[in-house]
């Protein structure tokens, strides 16, 4: 019988997501600490645009767990999730009298760390 190391951490990263980190942070605060299935359900019914890349990243982390370690997706929960500011895309908006006003389009980096649920 194979023993499972319970302190294995499954990681997934999404970098340079074209979205403000504040808008993503309000979503990840809702799913922090949830199980994999519960987090997918919450993300599916939230009306925000930020839910799509977060759910893709969550599915990617679960696929990493299944492929690399052979873990069942049902036994996973989100132990840590964070979002950080990325670099901004710098653009110019033409204005009156030949001036150019800067536009900064923010990006963010999302990190998900999942673990196995503690067995009872």
- 94 vs 3, residue with greater confidence: 94
Locate 90 and state its tokens: 């710098």
What domains lie within the chain, and their CATH numbers? 10-92+101-116 (3.90.470.10)
Q: Over the stretch 5-54, which tens digit does the pLDDT of each residue have? A: 668 898 999 999 999 999 999 999 999 989 999 999 999 999 999 999 99
């Amino acid at each position: 019988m194979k023993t499972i190391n319970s302190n294995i951490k499954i990681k997934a990263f999404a970098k340079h997501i074209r979205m403000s980190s504040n808008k993503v942070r309000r979503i990840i605060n809702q799913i922090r600490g949830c199980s994999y299935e519960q987090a997918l359900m919450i993300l599916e019914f939230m009306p925000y645009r930020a839910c799509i890349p977060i759910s893709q990243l969550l599915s990617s982390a679960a696929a990493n767990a299944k492929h690399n370690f052979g873990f069942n997706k049902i036994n996973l929960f989100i132990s840590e999730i964070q979002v950080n500011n990325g670099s901004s895309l710098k653009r110019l908006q033409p204005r009156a009298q030949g001036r150019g006003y800067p536009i900064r389009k923010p990006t963010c980096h999302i990190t998900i760390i999942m673990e196995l649920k503690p067995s009872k």
